[in-house]
Amino acid sequence: MTLTRKIAFEEHFSAVGFDDYSKAFVKHINTQASSELNVRLADFDDTRIRLMDQYAIDYVILSQTGPGVQNEPDTATAVHRSRQNNDFLAAQIDRNRERFGGFATLPMQDPDAAIEELRRTVNDLGFKGALVNGHTHGVYYDDRKYDPFWAELEKLGVPLYLHPFDAYDIPHAYSGHPELVGATWGWGVEAGTHALRLLFGGVFDRFPGVKVILGHMGEGLPFQRWRFDSRFAVYPHGVSLKQQPSQYIGSNILITTSGVCSHAALQGAIAEMGPQAVMFSVDYPYESIELAANFIDTAPLDEQTKNMVCYGNAKKLFNL
């Protein structure tokens, strides 16, 4: 089997002192697995680099594991801890800039502070964008108070990775089924819905250069593009867009393969969105690098498409 060069960018770490936040992510994982995760989240030099070398991952963009400061109730603390986290990550990157880049942690509790920290991390620390773990205490980023944030993201030319977390209100339909609330189902629904709020809320019309990335094969959105157009045409509810909904999915909304190692799903996503909108990632350490790399290396894609998905699209997006 030939190994294809790869870039991955849903790849997580945890800064010192952020364990209290991440308990919300790992509380349903058994104790042994949780302990192993914590070891891998804290590792920058040993297992992570060895696995990257073994599976031809040239470069990764690291992000603080969720939910991070999105779960912080105090705004001033969120601002302070975002800066602390980003400085910690910058120090790790500085030790190995050929292999590591960074996504900023942002205090979305305060849009002005989020703009300031985004600007600082991109301009001063060389970060490649930001990763935000969904809503912040029930506030979604189609809210017009975030328009200056989207304007700054567009101006800087970097993307936002919209990572899942729990819904603000757990739907009644999940009652008695905790297995539906998190990563198995609920997180993907939550992240996909948030992205649709941005789309139908006109964020991409007001800021057409904005790029939002969804993991997990696009949280299901690529496979509903036709229906979004069909039903929105009948039920617009007073919403007006400059394009059909499907046209934003593949241009403003890009996706990664993280956590979905299915050749059929990969081929379907590429068929729906085009090969330029789909990129490889792992979701390490929550998913296996070996499994993800073997999945993409054996994917039934032509060489040009595989190289775009594994390396070329990310290289272009992040100006590497």
- Catalytic annotation, residues: 283
Number of Cβ within 10 Å of residue 124's Cβ equals 10
Cis status, amide bond into 300, omega within 30 of 0: no
Phi, psi for 313 (deg, rounded to 5): -65, -45
Q: How many residues does the chain have?
A: 320
- Coarse DSSP helix, strand, coil percentages of the chain, rounded to the nearest 5 percent: 50, 10, 35
Mention every residue, 6+ apart, whose C-beta is less than 8 A from residue 63: 9, 10, 11, 12, 13, 102, 103, 105, 131, 161, 163
CA dihedral over 304, 188, 13, 298, signed as positive or negative: negative
Task: Look up residue 6 and give its two tokens.
Answer: 């790869």
- β-bridge partners, 41: none
Asked if 283 and 8 count as a contact pair (C-beta separation under 8 A), the reply is no
Estimate to the nearest angstrom the gap between the alpha carbon of 16 and the chain centroid. 22
Q: What is the CA radius of gyration of the chain?
A: 19
Name the H helices within the chain. 19-26, 31-41, 47-54, 75-94, 111-123, 147-156, 186-200, 203-206, 225-234, 263-273, 289-297, 303-307, 313-317
Estimate to the nearest angstrom the gap between the alpha carbon of 230 and the chain centroid. 28
Asked if 216 and 259 count as a contact pair (C-beta separation under 8 A), the reply is yes
